Chains A and B, each alone.
Chain A
Amino acid sequence: MAKIIFRLFASFVVFVGVFILIQQSLIPDSFGKYGHYRANSIEDNKISSSFYKGEKECTSCHQDLYDQKDSDLHSNVRCESCHIPKIDVFTDCEVMPPIVEGTNDFCAACHATNPGRLKKGVPQLDFKEHEPDKKCIECHNPHAPWELLE
């Protein structure tokens, strides 16, 4: 009687033992250091190229435009809000700068009349009524929007 039970119990113990050994060898080394995760993943998550560099990078070459922007109503709008640093694979300030097309749709993203935008300090207008045939930048300098051109 004892034979079967002993053998079954012994094989169970051996199975669990082998399982634990395999487990120890397969668990990643940094696992469990700070919690139930692979601690090295914290560093892995920090590795990524940043496309948005921040205004300080822009002013290293374009201080004049920054100063102009600072003097007018777009002073709160950072350079990269409009100048998207990655329009396509070739975008690189020195090679192919992120030029803004200045289409009405682009400016409408912030300035089109929308009841959700009332009283938030951003001028609103109906783009179908206000000079629908012209591009915004034909009259407004985007870095100094109240300085009307022409």
Chain B
Amino acid sequence: MGTTRIKNNRRKFFQTSAALLGGTIMYSLIKPFEALSQPQTEDIKENKEDLPLWGMGVDIESCIGCGKCAEACKIENNVPKEPFYFRTWIEQYTVKNDGEVKIESPNGGIGGLQQSVPDEDIFKSFMVPKLCNHCTEAPCVQACPVGATFISPDGVVLVDDSYCIGCSYCIQACPYGARFMNPITKVADKCTFCYHRISDGLQPACVEVCPTDARIFGNLRDKKSDLVKFLQKNPTQVLKPHLNTHSRVFYNGLSSEVR
């Protein structure tokens, strides 16, 4: 009596599973046909050479630490005004006569960096703007478990807001501290080279407002661009080259104290 009952239950189990399985198979067969009937999304040019490869140059010898870039970035990209979230920021390095290096970036430099060490103690001082380096071998892209952050065909590291699960692994993986968790959208956020602007022929907001042209944005593939000329004229370095991230933000005047 016990075994016949079990046999019935098993039959029902197999019937339900078969129905579910069959339904799923039917659905997955129909779905590709559905895709054909939808209009195709605009295709990006297949030929890689036609696409720009975006990069940025930073001239430390020109930067005065006025903070306008950091402020403009927050406004342009709706970044919360609190001093915990920065897509770009400026650091002031003050090398003292005794060799000690003081680094500071109060509110990311917004409002202008101010002198905090008396003149007589200072050996030298300079300002260093920082931002996402849009690495060609980005460790953040490597780390994302779901594919929510990626390098676009034109070389910009972007975040897919609707796909990010908020695990923060990419934030841990970035050696430059360029990423943060946006408290409002609750996804990873960072500098996008103002992708919405550069795709329209405009400059990123930070480049637009810099009064001393310390930031140079351009297409690395365009031999006539300001950026390529900047790279040709100056001995440039990238941050943390030992990590081999193939960063595409190039600094002129980078001193060894810079972290």
Which A residues have a C-beta under 8 Å from some C-beta of B? 14, 17-18, 21-22, 24-25, 28-31, 34-48, 50-52, 54, 76-78, 80-81, 84-86, 105, 108-110, 112-118, 120-122
Q: Indicate if B234 sits at the interface (CB-CB under 8 A).
A: no
Instruction: Determine whether the beta carbon of A37 is less than 8 Å from that of B112.
Output: no
Instruction: Determine whether the beta carbon of B42 is less than 8 Å from that of A48.
Output: no
Instruction: Determine whether the beta carbon of B66 is less than 8 Å from that of A110.
Output: yes
Instruction: Determine whether the beta carbon of B196 is less than 8 Å from that of A50.
Output: yes
Give Cα distance in the complex from A34 to B45, angstroms. Answer: 11
Q: List 12 A-B contacts (CB under 8 A).
A: A25-B31, A35-B150, A41-B163, A76-B213, A80-B208, A81-B72, A81-B208, A110-B64, A110-B211, A112-B115, A114-B113, A116-B64
Instruction: Determine whether the beta carbon of A48 is less than 8 Å from that of B64.
Output: no
Instruction: Determine whether the beta carbon of A50 is less than 8 Å from that of B197.
Output: yes
Instruction: Determine whether the beta carbon of A45 is less than 8 Å from that of B35.
Output: no
Which of the residues B148, B208, B211 comes within 8 Å of A52, measured between beta carbons?
A: B208
Residue of B whose beta carbon sits closest to that of A20: B28
A-B pairs under 8 A by CB, number: 161
Instruction: Determine whether the beta carbon of B195 is less than 8 Å from that of A21.
Output: no
Given A46-B195, A116-B94, do A37 and B147 touch, yes or no (CB 8 Å)?
yes
Residues of B within 8 A of A43 (CB): 41-42
Residues of A within 8 A of B100 (CB): none
Which B residues have a C-beta under 8 Å from some C-beta of A? 17, 20-21, 24-25, 27-28, 31, 35, 41-42, 44, 61-68, 71-72, 75-77, 92-94, 111-115, 117, 119, 122, 124-127, 147-153, 158-163, 192, 195-197, 199-200, 202-203, 205, 208-213
Residue of A whose beta carbon sits closest to that of B111: A109
Instruction: Give, as a whole number of angstroms, the nearest-CB distance from B64 to chain A.
Output: 5
Given A48-B77, A109-B112, A116-B113, do A21 and B72 touch, yes or no (CB 8 Å)?
no
Give Cα distance in the complex from A26 to B192, angstroms. Answer: 28
Residue of B whose beta carbon sits closest to that of A114: B115
Given A29-B35, A44-B162, A120-B61, do A54 and B24 touch, yes or no (CB 8 Å)?
no
Instruction: Give, as a whole number of angstroms, the nearest-CB distance from A109 to chain B.
Output: 3
Residues of B within 8 A of A51 (CB): 75-76, 205
Give Cα distance in the complex from A35 to B61, angstroms. Answer: 38
Residues of A within 8 A of B42 (CB): 43
Instruction: Give, as a whole number of angstroms, the nearest-CB distance from A102 to chain B.
Output: 15
Instruction: Determine whether the beta carbon of A38 is less than 8 Å from that of B35.
Output: no
